[in-house]
Amino acid sequence: MPRLLLSLSILALLTACATPQQRCIREGSATQNRLVKEITETEANIARGYAIHRQTVPETIFHTCRRVRDGTVVGYYPCPETYYRTIETPVAIEVSEERKKLTGLKDALPGAQRRAEEATAQCRIQFPD
């Protein structure tokens, strides 16, 4: 199963299984989680000296399938199967700009954490277990 499809399926399954309280907390923490992810990625970019651009591209492979009727092969036909793969490409960055970006992200994080904590408390009141 293609990796992207598997990831989306798992995400849909986890979303369907989440309680209203869990969904509320996840939504309330979204900004904080995004900031933490961006901080981690920016720190990695600075450490490497370049960013990594990720692109998912389809790749179709053609197989030959058999047409069977009443247990007898009556013909063949092409049957394509599409897989998805991720291509990573290095991208030049301006390290000084990345450091400024990192400072801004880190400055924004405490406010996002406070709002996430407030949202979590409100979600626990609104949707008790």
Distance CA(126)–CA(123), nearest Å, equals 5
- State the average pLDDT over residues 51-75: 93
Domain boundaries, the chain: 18-49+93-129, 52-89
Question: What proportion of the chain, given as a percentage, has pLDDT over 70?
Answer: 88
**pLDDT range class, residue 128, cuts 50, 70, 90:** confident
Single out the residue of 97, 94, 109, 111 nearest to residue 40, CA to CA. Answer: 109
**pLDDT 10s digits, 9-29:** 665 665 567 899 999 999 999
pLDDT of residue 1: 46
